[in-house]
Structure 1
Amino acid sequence: MSDWRRIDIDAFDPESGRLTAQDLIPPYSHVITAQELQPKIQQLRSLSSSGDISSAIKLATNDPPYSADDATKAQYMMAVLETLTQVRQADITNILKGLNPQEQVVLVKYLYKGMSITEGQKQGGILLAWFEKLTQVAGVTPIVHYLSDRQTV
């Protein structure tokens, strides 16, 4: 570590002019449209209405539409919110144990997003129950990942 003086710290300063706001946005190869997301929304609603909530939650958290526009994300969020609110509180822990760590992080994103919109605030008790059970199962790791991730749902 004798050459520590050679590190260009100005390269990491966002105000140095080297990085623009566009440079901080992660690149996406394809922007997802509402038409492309409709089959997944229909499948999500079908699984949740048939009572297979565990598969519906796995589907919702498996491949979130990060590269979609805000209107498409909102439409998908409403389908996820409908699914989350149809679960009995006794079943939440078993569903959460079936999720891998990445899916748990995506679920935290949906819970926070749900608590920030009006429709989700009406179902606040259910979303908080999900949040409580998730922290019991996975600890605070998904929350830390959520706080440090730039990808939004």
Structure 2
Amino acid sequence: MEDWRRIDIDAFDPESGRLTEEDLKPPYATQVGLQELQPKISQLRSAATSGDFASAVQLATSDPPYNSDDATKLQYFSAVLEVLTQVRQAEIINIVKQLSPKQQEVLIKYLYKGMSLPEGQKQGGILLSWFEKVTQVSGVGPIVRYLSDRNTV
């Protein structure tokens, strides 16, 4: 008898279809360029300069540019980082409470990205305080979903 631990039982199941590379592509197919994001970046900056940080963070975390090239994502991230660093410590918890769970997950993605880049590491204390407030409000769920998600910001 063969070694039963090496038998691929999925090969014997007629209903188990193998995933192709096409199946693994994300549902959004159009590439978002910097020209399409430029109005949103200017909205972020104008909301931050007017002091409306809650709407700026909500705008930054809604509909992130997942399907863009790295240069476009970096440009958008720098605008998001400007907004996050201008918020006072006392306001962070209220802003995080106003975000939806999906927006909190996107915020966690931006915080991790910030901690991995030199621009964000300069603002590490601020990003860590955002991180602390998000985990206080929503627990570790957004972190787990970040670790298992293939969409990057």
Shorter-chain TM band: 0.7 to 0.9
1:57 maps to a residue whose letter is V
Alignment of 1:72-111 (within 5 A): 72-111=72-111
Equivalent residues in 2 for 1:3-152 (5 A)? 8=10, 23-152=23-152
User: Please, which moves more after superposition, 19-28 or 123-132?
Assistant: 19-28
C-alpha deviation, 1:30, in angstroms: 1.1
5+ residue gaps, structure 2, are 1-7
> 2 CA distance for matches of 1:147 and 1:37?
26
Q: Percent identity?
A: 68
3-state SS of paired residue (2:95): helix
Structure whose CA Rg is larger: 2
RMSD value, Cα: 2.2
Shift of 1:27: 3.9
Amino acid across the alignment from 1:74: L
Partner deviation per Cα, 1:24-50 (whole Å, 9 max, x = no partner)? 332422110100100000000000111
CA gap of 1:124–1:21, structure 2 versus 1, over 3 A, is: farther
Partner amino acid for 1:85?
A: T
- Residue by residue over 1:69-128, the C-alpha shift from the partner in whole angstroms, topping out at 9 and shown as x without a partner, is 110000000000000000101000000000010000000000000011101000000000
Work out the CA distance in 2 between the residues paired with 1:9 and 1:49. 59
- Relative to structure 1, the CA distance from residue 94 to residue 32 in structure 2 (aligned partners, 3 Å threshold; closer, same or farther) is same
Letter in 1 for 2:10: D
The residue type paired with residue 55 of structure 1 is S
Distance 2:81 2:51 in 1: 15
Q: Which residue identity is paired with 2:125?
A: G
* TM-score of the aligned structures, taking structure 2 as reference length: 0.86
Distance 1:22 1:124, change over 3 A: farther
Match of 1:14 in 2: none
Return the letter of the residue paired with 2:93: T
Instruction: Give the Cα–Cα distance (whole angstroms) in 1 for the partners of residues 147 and 11 of structure 2.
Output: 24
Gap runs ≥5 in structure 1: 1-5, 12-17
Q: Letter of the 2:113 partner, please give it.
A: K
